[in-house]
């Protein structure tokens, strides 16, 4: 019960910080006379999706994710280093590498993408976009790639929780167009410039810049794309949701479409193939949904 209360406290505390930053960005762009940065209905949908995601995720961490972590921990190296500058840096870097792997798989495996598509379906880039998450993340299983390697190494679960939450807090501040290039930091750190490319849907932008805090993973594994050479960035996904302002629909439509494709084609390979595989193999099964005029979308 105490872990659940801690999770709810974290959601409340950082939720207030995030809302304050979103409000500040909104007031800034209005005062600067910039238009098209915030869309009211989309922003409300982002906030609602983020709230449901973090509540479910926090409870899931308290109820079963940490329990599974401890079960795996007993079979690992049980390193359990004492707190030091080196061990803390090692944990931060290791957790970010695990996030890179997790994030990469969320883009490459249809099962994982069915939950992650929510985050990429926004047509705008602002701080509220960071909260456009999916409450099904805790049940998709992709968190195993982020949490469990640390259990096998032997990091304390509370340290890991802080490192993961800190990683997510850092990523919140990547979702903006108001911060341009950050000089030498662009070479090592993930920045708003790099993350804008990640949210693009044009060919040069798809499946690029997967890092959380650091960008050198992408440079090391060949998934990096600089904003200067990425072309004009178009936010969103190839198959936009039919109801872009319905928070519940935004979080479940990917799973519904996955189930429909598996049922229609009687092919379980769809579950683990890349997200566009069914369209490429059997034809564009989602074309009718993608072509619904905006005026008919709820």
Q: 26-63, pLDDT tens digit by residue? A: 999 999 999 999 999 999 999 999 999 998 998 899 88
Tell me: the pLDDT tens digits for 213-242? 999 999 999 999 999 999 999 999 988 999
CA dist 298 and 282 (Å) reads 29
Identify whether the C-beta of residue 136 lies closer than 8 Å to the C-beta of residue 55.
no
pLDDT at 161 over 70: yes
**pLDDT band at residue 3 using 50, 70 and 90 as cut-offs:** low
pTM listed for this prediction: 0.91
Q: How many CB atoms lie within 10 A of CB 102?
A: 20
- Using pLDDT thresholds of 50, 70 and 90, give the confidence band for residue 294: very low
What are the tokens at 272? 């683990």
Residues 6+ apart with CB under 8 A from 36: 124
Q: How far apart are CA 175 and CA 127, in angstroms?
A: 5
For tokens 């061990």, the residue is 87
């Amino acid at each position: 019960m105490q872990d659940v209360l801690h999770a709810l406290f974290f959601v409340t505390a950082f939720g207030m910080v995030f809302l304050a930053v979103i409000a500040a960005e909104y007031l800034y762009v209005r005062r600067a006379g910039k238009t098209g940065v915030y869309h009211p209905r989309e922003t409300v949908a982002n906030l609602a999706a983020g709230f449901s995601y973090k509540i479910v995720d926090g409870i899931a961490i308290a109820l079963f994710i940490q329990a599974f972590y401890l079960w795996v921990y007993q079979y690992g190296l049980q390193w359990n280093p004492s707190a030091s500058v080196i061990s803390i840096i090692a944990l931060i870097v290791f957790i970010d590498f695990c996030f890179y792997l997790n994030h990469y798989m969320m883009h490459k495996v249809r099962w994982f993408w069915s939950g992650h598509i929510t985050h990429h379906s926004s047509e705008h880039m602002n701080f509220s976009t960071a909260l456009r998450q999916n409450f099904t993340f805790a049940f998709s299983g992709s968190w195993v790639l982020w949490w469990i390697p640390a259990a096998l190494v032997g990091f304390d679960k509370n340290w890991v929780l802080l490192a993961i939450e800190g990683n997510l807090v850092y990523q919140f501040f990547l979702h903006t167009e108001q911060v341009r290039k950050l000089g030498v930091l662009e070479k090592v750190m993930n920045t708003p410039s790099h993350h804008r490319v990640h949210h693009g849907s044009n060919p040069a932008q798809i499946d690029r810049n997967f890092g959380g805090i650091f960008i050198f993973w992408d440079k090391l594994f060949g998934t990096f794309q600089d904003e200067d050479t990425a072309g004009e960035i178009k936010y969103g996904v190839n198959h936009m949701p039919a109801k872009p302002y319905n928070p519940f629909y935004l979080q479940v439509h990917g799973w519904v479409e996955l189930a429909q494709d598996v049922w229609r084609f009687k092919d379980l390979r769809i579950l683990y193939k890349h997200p566009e595989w069914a369209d490429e193999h059997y034809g564009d099964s989602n074309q009718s949904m993608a072509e619904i005029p905006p005026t008919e979308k709820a």
